[in-house]
Every structure is written in C-alpha cells, then in structure tokens.
Chains A and B, each alone.
Chain A
C-alpha cells in the first residue's frame, strides 16, 4: 500500500530564504508526482507535475526533483516571499488515482 509522507509538517521562515520541502513515498511504481499548493479555505492549485521518466521540473522560483528509486521528491522554493505562505501537498499518481502526502504548512514572514 502506497504511503506518502512529507517533512517537515510545518515551517516558519523569514522572507528571502531558500527552502526545501521533502516528500517520500513507499512504492516506487508511480506514474507521476504532482506538487500542489492549498491556501486556507481554498482549493488545490497545481504547481509542478513530474513524470516518472523525468528527474526534475522548474517553474519560476520553484524546482521539484524526483528520485523514484529512493522514493523521494523535493520541492525547492527560491527567495521565499510572504505570498508563498500556504500548505504544500505532494501527491503520487499510482495507476488511476492520486495519493496525497500529509502536507507541509509554510509560513513566510516579512
């Protein structure tokens, strides 16, 4: 059974810091991995999708890497801003469904 864990559960940092959010999964037989952002009381916004054949994806200040063999993905946020404050969720795509991690709640203060 696939299990997805995210570390840390919560993170509070000053503006401008570079951040690394970690995601680990127990079954390496995944199609893809997708990172989402959820703002309080809002829906999920897709940030990055990494296909199983890829090692990383970049979008603006975000970079996500995938190491299937070790069951890990990291989301790197460069030069963090208060607007980055949200919960970040990683999800692995197994056959026909998304399995979500436990989330990392990020707060960036000015």
Chain B
C-alpha cells in the first residue's frame, strides 16, 4: 500500500561506478520529483517530471539522468559516481501544488 516507493533503501558503491535508483508511485499523481538531502540535512530539488516530461532541472551535473517510462515511475541514473554524490535521495509526487507532496522513504547513497 506504499504510496511512493524507492529502491534500494541503501546503496554503497565505489567511485566511478554507475548506479540507478528506482521510484514508483501508486497515487495517480501527474508530477514526480527527485530531491537530494545533503550531509547538513538540507533538502533541495533536483528534477521534476510531469506526465513523463522534464519540467525542472536544477543545474544538476550531466552525470545525473532521470528517466520516466510512464507517469508512475521516475528513475534516477547516476554515471561516474563521485564522493560528493553521497547523500540521501528522495523521490516525491504531487497531483498539483494545491494538494501538497508525498515523499518516499529515501535512498541513502554512499560512495567510497
């Protein structure tokens, strides 16, 4: 019954590797997002997709590539991982601004 689900919950990988994080929502929302929470716990938007179309790209490095196969899924692929990519990545969805946002439980990425 999870509304927004992310996998994996934890991801430990070496520098230079490529990894993906998956997100799915069963709320029927049109818009999905990726947020990054850094080591100081500050949350910042990375991307948003509305019905499979990219809406927001907040000057995220090209190594990060979101992919939305349908409006219920928004995956995040990261190439050539760097130490600074270590963070918690949250997926979220919303139907419209008036109805608020629903977040997943996060993926803790550790690059060693």
Q: Which residues of A contact B (CB under 8 A)?
A: 31-32, 34, 36, 41-46, 49, 51, 87, 89, 91, 93, 95-100, 102-103
Contact = CB atoms under 8 A, between A and B. Distances in A.
Interface in B19-75: 31, 33, 35, 41-45, 48, 50, 55-56
Per DSSP, chain B at the interface is strand
Interface residues of B, number: 25
Interface centre among B48, B97, B98 (most CB of A within 10 A): B97
Per DSSP, chain A at the interface is strand
28 contacts: A32-B97, A32-B98, A32-B100, A34-B100, A41-B108, A42-B105, A43-B90, A43-B103, A43-B104, A43-B105, A43-B106, A44-B103, A46-B101, A46-B102, A91-B101, A93-B97, A93-B101, A95-B97, A96-B48, A96-B50, A96-B55, A97-B33, A97-B45, A97-B48, A97-B56, A98-B92, A100-B42, A103-B41
B41 A87 contact: yes
Contact of B106 (A42, A91, A97, A99): A42
Nearest to B108: A41
Interface of B: 31, 33, 35, 41-45, 48, 50, 55-56, 90, 92, 97-106, 108
A24 B85 CA distance: 29
Given A42-B105, A43-B105, A89-B43, A96 B100 contact: no
